[in-house]
A and B are shown apart, each in its own frame.
Chain A
Amino acid sequence: MTTTQRPSADDPRILLDQEAGVFEPIPPYPPRTEREAEFYTLGDGEMFLNMGPQHPSTHGVLRVVLKIQGENVVDLDPVLGYLHRGVEKLAENADYHQVISQVDPLEYVSSLFNEWGAVLSFEKLLDVEVPRRAEYIRVLSAELNRIASHSLFLGWMALDLGGLTPILWSFIERDEIVEMLASLTGQRMLFNYFRIGGVNGDLNHDFMSRLGNWMSRATEQIEAGQGLLNENEIFVRRMRGLGPIDTATALRMCFTGPNLRATGVPFDIRRAHPYSVYPELDFDIPTRSEGDSLARYLLRMEEVKQSLRIIDQCLHQMPDGPVIAKLPRLLRPRPGRAYAAVESPRGQYATYVVSDGTDQPFRMRIHDPSYIHLQSVGLLMKGNLIADTMAIMASLDPIMGGVDK
């Protein structure tokens, strides 16, 4: 098969690889940067191993080029962009209301936090006051989503280490929560529930009965799921001391969320920079000091318990009132800038929006925690075995939809 004219590299039509041959890990051009030159030069006894974009445990389409010496990984270079959809550019062409559904599929496991980050920045830009009932519903649904996300993390973590049972158990748990959220929002994932000024619909009878039913069994169910792994000798011995990071390095690598709290820094945006009704709710911030994979895992499990506390308080303190502020369909904020950050299950999810006075954002920047955490995998991986690459990556909990935007 011959091509008459190859389209240029920027053409949106795909440049098909005509010789569908071997996927060389070494790029076919000379190194353009210092780091590329350093990485793609082989030392004595080293070789490259390509963990391709299609891989059972790369959490999505991520390509990692490993430089290995025997079984030990000397260095690694993640190659991203296999899921890059250009959300920031599409957001410049969409209404403020439409952008909320565009940002849903970024961290698709915890979509409500993506929406919350976007909606919070728009509300700051527009000086909108959200009714209190809407704020409580937001916190309630978001904390449910946090539990669902951490359950998935548990299952995925075990799957990457080779355990096949915990993921099935965590999917049963996640299924219940997700069906609950479906009765509230209409979808099982990518909820599209938050609106500028509130939420899309009030709590309904189906949701409340499912929630009550689940809450009565939640603690035992979660304990059972965690009991599979917390004291499992194989799990603990593999995870203890794996990929340790200390506080200073974590701060310099811009870590946030459970990955930072596992190193000892009690930084939680819900307490450090409160938003919504979190100042009125009583919850602790679990912190651990070891900084290794086991600490990150145990920390997320403790966060699930704190989320249950928050949900309980929300149910008791839920006020009456409207669930959305009255806003015009055509929203034209005055020119300005706004930055809003929320504490997603992965870390700081932030949105920076620049408005120029029209009904479409001029620039919508989405700051995703998984993207930041993935760049430190190389730092944590030095000297470990290939099998541990996946364990470390899983313990940082990346979601490739968020990494690639």
Chain B
Amino acid sequence: MDRRFKARLEAHFEDRLTGPVRQRHDETEIRIRPGDVVPVMTELHDNADFRFEFLADLCGVDTGEAMHVVYHLWSDTTPDWLRVIADGLSRDDPRAPSLTFLWPGAEWMEREAYDMFGINFEGNRDVRRIYMPPEYTSFPLRKDFHLPDDAARSPGAGSRHMEQAHLPTDTPSATIRRLPGSRQLPAKP
């Protein structure tokens, strides 16, 4: 946990952060808007205080309300990993700027985020499906894409919330014991 690093981040990016800088174990996390990704990343890459030349990971996250793009960076100026979360992408038409101008190796990571979530990266020359066949129309890792689950259709469907994803309509609700704090998933249409 590098306190001075946190201070440096707050000093440089105070107007671009949409939330506090969080630190836990050896990770520092900042949140920015998708429109600020390009200037923030360029600053982190080029500035001599930061020198984040290594992009460790780029992924998408679907929170159910919004989509995020999460970047992980590493630099030898700090012992912490830096996590940059670009949050606030809409779930209907998620768009984010591409980092391929800075790291050409992000091309396939963005392709995978497109394939799994539908996030369009502007500036990436090659946003097309990478895992699923080209005619596939859904985005598998979105929260509204449900896996077919045969356990829920059996009479012995239990109380795990995975098994509640497709409730047979004639199951009395008294037999289903919900764990405290389990999420109520919508019934499959």
A350 and B74 CA atoms in complex are apart in Å by 13
Q: Is the pair B133, A350 in contact by a Cβ cutoff of 8 Å?
A: no
Q: Is B150 part of the binding interface, using a Cβ–Cβ cutoff of 8 Å?
A: no
With beta carbons under 8 angstroms apart, the residue of B24, B106, B126, B133 that contacts A35 is B126
Q: Is the pair A348, B56 in contact by a Cβ cutoff of 8 Å?
A: yes
Query: In the complex, which residues of chain A have a beta carbon less than 8 angstroms from the beta carbon of B46?
Result: none
A90 to B: closest C-beta gap in Å: 8
Q: Is A108 part of the binding interface, using a Cβ–Cβ cutoff of 8 Å?
A: no
A363 and B107 CA atoms in complex are apart in Å by 21
Q: Is the pair B105, A33 in contact by a Cβ cutoff of 8 Å?
A: no
Q: Is A227 part of the binding interface, using a Cβ–Cβ cutoff of 8 Å?
A: no
With beta carbons under 8 angstroms apart, the residue of B26, B107, B125 that contacts A375 is B107
A107 and B129 CA atoms in complex are apart in Å by 22
Closest B-chain residue to A79, C-beta based?
Answer: B130
A356 and B136 CA atoms in complex are apart in Å by 29
Q: Do A338 and B27 contact each other (CB < 8 Å), given the known contacts A352-B59, A367-B57?
A: yes
Q: Is the pair A254, B106 in contact by a Cβ cutoff of 8 Å?
A: yes
Binary contact readout A204-216 vs B (1 if CB under 8 angstroms, 0 otherwise):
0000000000000
Q: Is B104 part of the binding interface, using a Cβ–Cβ cutoff of 8 Å?
A: yes
Q: Is the pair A252, B104 in contact by a Cβ cutoff of 8 Å?
A: yes
Q: Is the pair B181, A33 in contact by a Cβ cutoff of 8 Å?
A: no
Within 8 A of B (CB), among A351-405: 352, 354, 356-360, 362-363, 365, 367, 371-372, 374-376, 404-405
Query: In the complex, which residues of chain B have a beta carbon less than 8 angstroms from the beta carbon of A371?
Result: 108-109, 112
Query: In the complex, which residues of chain B have a beta carbon less than 8 angstroms from the beta carbon of A27?
Result: 134
Q: Is B91 part of the binding interface, using a Cβ–Cβ cutoff of 8 Å?
A: no
Binary contact readout B74-118 vs A (1 if CB under 8 angstroms, 0 otherwise):
101001010100000000000000000011111111001000100
A144 to B: closest C-beta gap in Å: 26
Q: Is the pair B54, A81 in contact by a Cβ cutoff of 8 Å?
A: no
A371 and B59 CA atoms in complex are apart in Å by 13
Q: Is A272 part of the binding interface, using a Cβ–Cβ cutoff of 8 Å?
A: yes
A205 and B131 CA atoms in complex are apart in Å by 45
Q: Is the pair B108, A33 in contact by a Cβ cutoff of 8 Å?
A: no
With beta carbons under 8 angstroms apart, the residue of B102, B126, B131, B147 that contacts A36 is B126
Query: How many chain A residues touch B (Cβ–Cβ < 8 Å)?
Result: 55
Q: Is the pair B104, A88 in contact by a Cβ cutoff of 8 Å?
A: no
Q: Is A16 part of the binding interface, using a Cβ–Cβ cutoff of 8 Å?
A: no
Q: Is the pair B81, A339 in contact by a Cβ cutoff of 8 Å?
A: yes
Closest B-chain residue to A356, C-beta based?
Answer: B183
Q: Is the pair A124, B108 in contact by a Cβ cutoff of 8 Å?
A: no
Q: Is B148 part of the binding interface, using a Cβ–Cβ cutoff of 8 Å?
A: yes
With beta carbons under 8 angstroms apart, the residue of A272, A360, A372, A376 that contacts B109 is A372
B130 to A: closest C-beta gap in Å: 6
Closest A-chain residue to B24, C-beta based?
Answer: A336
With beta carbons under 8 angstroms apart, the residue of B74, B116, B138 that contacts A272 is B74
Within 8 A of B (CB), among A131-168: none
Q: Is A32 part of the binding interface, using a Cβ–Cβ cutoff of 8 Å?
A: yes
Q: Is the pair A89, B135 in contact by a Cβ cutoff of 8 Å?
A: no
Query: In the complex, which residues of chain A have a beta carbon less than 8 angstroms from the beta carbon of B62?
Result: 363
Closest A-chain residue to B124, C-beta based?
Answer: A33
Q: Is A12 part of the binding interface, using a Cβ–Cβ cutoff of 8 Å?
A: yes
Q: Is the pair A367, B56 in contact by a Cβ cutoff of 8 Å?
A: yes
Which of B57, B70, B104, B135 is most buried by chain A, counting CB atoms within 10 A of its CB?
B57
Q: Do A253 and B56 contact each other (CB < 8 Å), given the known contacts A337-B29, A358-B182?
A: no
Q: Is the pair B109, A29 in contact by a Cβ cutoff of 8 Å?
A: no
Query: In the complex, which residues of chain B have a beta carbon less than 8 angstroms from the beta carbon of A338?
Result: 24-25, 27
Q: Is B161 part of the binding interface, using a Cβ–Cβ cutoff of 8 Å?
A: yes
Q: Is the pair B137, A8 in contact by a Cβ cutoff of 8 Å?
A: yes
Task: Known A-B contacts: A273-B81, A352-B70. Give 10 more (CB < 8 A).
Answer: A33-B125, A84-B132, A251-B54, A350-B72, A358-B161, A358-B181, A360-B162, A365-B61, A374-B108, A375-B107
Binding site for A on B (CB under 8 A): 24-27, 29, 53-57, 59, 61-63, 70, 72, 74, 76, 79, 81, 83, 102-109, 112, 116, 125-138, 140-141, 145, 147-149, 161-162, 179, 181-183
5 contacts between A and B (CB under 8 A): A93-B149, A348-B56, A350-B56, A352-B72, A354-B61
